[in-house]
Amino acid sequence: MKNFLNCDISELSFKKVKDEISNISIAKNYKCKQLIDIIEILLNDKRKNVSSLGKHLQKELNAYLGEVERVNSMYEFDKSFEGYKCVAGVDEVGRGPLAGPIVACAVVLDLNILEEDLILYLNDSKKLNSAKREELAEVIKEKALAYNIGISSSYEIDEKGISFSNNKIFLDACNSLKVKPDLVLSDGYLVKNIKIDNKAVIKGDTKSACIAAASILAKVYRDELMKEYALKYPYYDFENNMGYGTQKHIDGLKKYGKCAIHRDSFLTKILSNDF
């Protein structure tokens, strides 16, 4: 950026200016005064196309600063519970599908980090596309102090019920963490019979960094399982619907019947109406 600032931008072609701007990393330079100076120079350029580059760069910077502020507030939320040194977040995915397991994940993040080390774009996994979830999952696994998956099969869901299975995997995920938390934040409702202090957070995957991280890891883990099942049971479009009752899934059930990972207790109405 120094070399760019030392140039007379008015003497550079639009293409040259655009190429130079494309090499600027907002993530690496969002705190640099030089970035503000470059934006100001671009905005003041008499050429409309160059000025528009300044507007675009300013928009990118504002968006990045907003994301830093949003995620920082999620970390601060997790730190706001006084008297606790180690906080975990737990969340599940897969309560509603007609097939496949229900999966939970518990995550302990390092909450005492510098702003530049925040895991940006943490959010409710449903608000992220699959590529972003997979990208974030790798970052979370790399940066988390600990994480652990709990899983309950379709057979167990039929045998014990979805509520029992949901709570069981919360317990499994939290109790086997390598770093033991003294507080567990759970999304939506309390975990029954947990021996660790527990607080429920409504819409926790949008408020808590640890819960959001758990939501993403659980979703990515379960999606990968369902893609593997899709190879074994190719008639239900599992690779796209992840076991939920889409039309292609229902059509597969009508034509081929259920498979080993279907939840019989979830198919009662469908079976009675359509078979």
Q: 60 a known binding residue?
A: no
Give the whole-angstrom CA distance, residue 164 versus residue 117.
37
Total-model pTM: 0.92
CATH 3.30.420.10 fits 87-268, yes or no: yes
* Residue 61, number of CB atoms within 10 A of its CB: 17
| Cβ burial, residue 101 (10 Å; 0-12/13-18/19+) | buried
Average pLDDT value for residue range 90-102? 97
Q: What is the reported pLDDT for 101?
A: 98
The end-to-end CA distance of the chain, in Å, is 67
Token output for 208: 């808590």
Query: Given a cut of 90, is residue 154 above it in pLDDT?
Result: yes
Q: For the chain, give every domain's residue range.
A: 2-76, 87-268
Closest CA to 94 of 260, 268, 245: 245
pLDDT, tens digit, 9 for 90 and up, residues 172-212: 999 999 999 999 999 999 999 999 999 999 999 999 999 99
pLDDT, tens digit, 9 for 90 and up, residues 204-236: 999 999 999 999 999 999 999 999 999 999 999
**pLDDT over 70, % of the chain:** 96
| Phi then psi dihedrals of residue 147, to 5 deg | -150, 155
pLDDT, tens digit, 9 for 90 and up, residues 24-41: 999 999 999 999 999 999
3-state helix, strand, coil split of the chain in percent (to 5) is 55, 10, 30
Q: 223 a known binding residue?
A: no
Give the whole-angstrom CA distance, residue 107 versus residue 105.
7
Give the whole-angstrom CA distance, residue 194 versus residue 180.
13
Q: 45 a known binding residue?
A: no
Query: Given a cut of 60, is residue 275 above it in pLDDT?
Result: no
DSSP state of 262: B
Query: Given a cut of 70, is residue 272 above it in pLDDT?
Result: no
Distances in Å between the Cα of 140 and the Cα atoms of 13, 135, 220 are: 42, 9, 12
Q: What is the reported pLDDT for 147?
A: 98
